[in-house]
Amino acid sequence: MKTIIKKITTVYLRILTKIVFLRFHPEVIVIAGTYNKTPTKNCLADILSRFFSVQYPPYSYNTEIGVPLTILGVTAGKSLSWFKVLFQATIAALCIRKYPDKLILELGSDRPGDIDYLLSILPTPTIAILTNIAPEYVSNFGSLDNIAKEFATLTDKLPPTSYLIYNQDDQRLVELAQKSSARLISYAIEAKQADWQIEEVEKTNHGQNVVINHRDTKIKIHTKHFGRNSIYTILISLAVMDIYNLPVRQIDNDCLKFLQ
């Protein structure tokens, strides 16, 4: 019974999202990968909200139900029944008169076909971001190569007008990018030929100081967060800012609040 209800809910939400995209035409930014999707989404939302109207998931809404709810601007709180959630979603799809300029979405995938389904309810992404390929859910896919095939569903569908921002430290992502028709933007901590390249990392008692090289321009950033993923999030955020011609040089003062 629960499976039938979920199927009906999924189909209904799909129809509502199609209505939203017929009525409005936001630029869609999608984030896919095994790890680091939510921190990257949070950081991008913080930055882009300073310059545009932005809609994004309040939590890790990255499933066949969570993504449509994000598009519809509805949160499935614990106190709400699914009837109320669907009612709110219906009102949102049919009655809202204004929609944000940018829509940031996480695309989750814990089984083959998830990415393909989520893309089927979306317009072509303006920007697609790939974080990494790691063994999470590998038992559902059989191998890391099969996980890469799942993400190839995204990279293979991107037209030349879209941007693909990918982690050049992950060889499987490099191979996916090489086969994509999208405009490629790479970032890396270790790989030496990335568009956004870490030149120096200094760990302190209060976080990390990083020096980034982009087109022979040095950008210095401090983050109170430790670890490689925090650095990757900075690189991705800089790449997106550059696409939109936002003030990258002022990033120390104006942006990356989420990482400070």
CATH number for the domain that contains residue 133: 3.40.1190.10
Give this prediction's pTM: 0.91
In 3D, which of 57, 55, 64, 38 has the Cα closest to residue 116?
Answer: 64
Smallest CA-to-CA distance from 20 within 78, 81, 71 is with 71
Reference 49, options 119, 103, 108, 128; nearest CA is 103
In a domain, 2, yes or no: no
Residue 16 lies in a domain: no
Tell me which residue range forms the domain holding 53.
Answer: 26-57+101-259
Q: What is the pLDDT of residue 247?
A: 81
Does 242 map to a domain? yes
Q: What string of pLDDT tens digits covers the 260 residues of the chain? A: 567 878 888 999 999 999 999 999 999 999 999 999 999 999 999 999 999 999 999 888 899 999 999 999 998 765 557 788 899 999 999 999 999 999 999 999 989 999 999 999 999 999 999 999 998 888 889 999 999 999 999 999 999 999 999 999 999 999 999 999 999 999 999 998 899 999 988 888 888 889 999 988 888 888 888 889 999 999 999 999 999 998 875 454 444 544 44
Total number of domains in the chain: 1
Q: What is the per-residue pLDDT for 252?
A: 46
Q: What is the pLDDT of residue 254?
A: 40
Q: What is the pLDDT of residue 84?
A: 87
Assess if residue 63 is contained within a domain.
Answer: no
Q: How far is CA 28 from the centre of its chain?
A: 9
Residue 66 resides in a domain: no
Give the other-Cβ count within 10 Å of 110's Cβ.
14
Q: Are 213 and 194 in contact (CB under 8 A)?
A: no
C-alpha span between 175 and 197 (Å, rounded): 19
pLDDT score recorded for residue 226: 87
In a domain, 73, yes or no: no
- The answer to whether position 179 is within a domain reads yes
Residue 35 lies in a domain: yes
pLDDT at 44 (0 to 100): 94
**Cα dihedral 185, 48, 21, 73 sign:** positive
Structure tokens at 15: 């129809």
The reported pLDDT for the residue numbered 192 is: 84
The per-residue DSSP string of 190-238 comes to S-TT-SEEEEEEEEETTEEEEEEEETTEEEEEEES--SHHHHHHHHHHH
Q: In which element (H, E) is residue 124 found? A: none
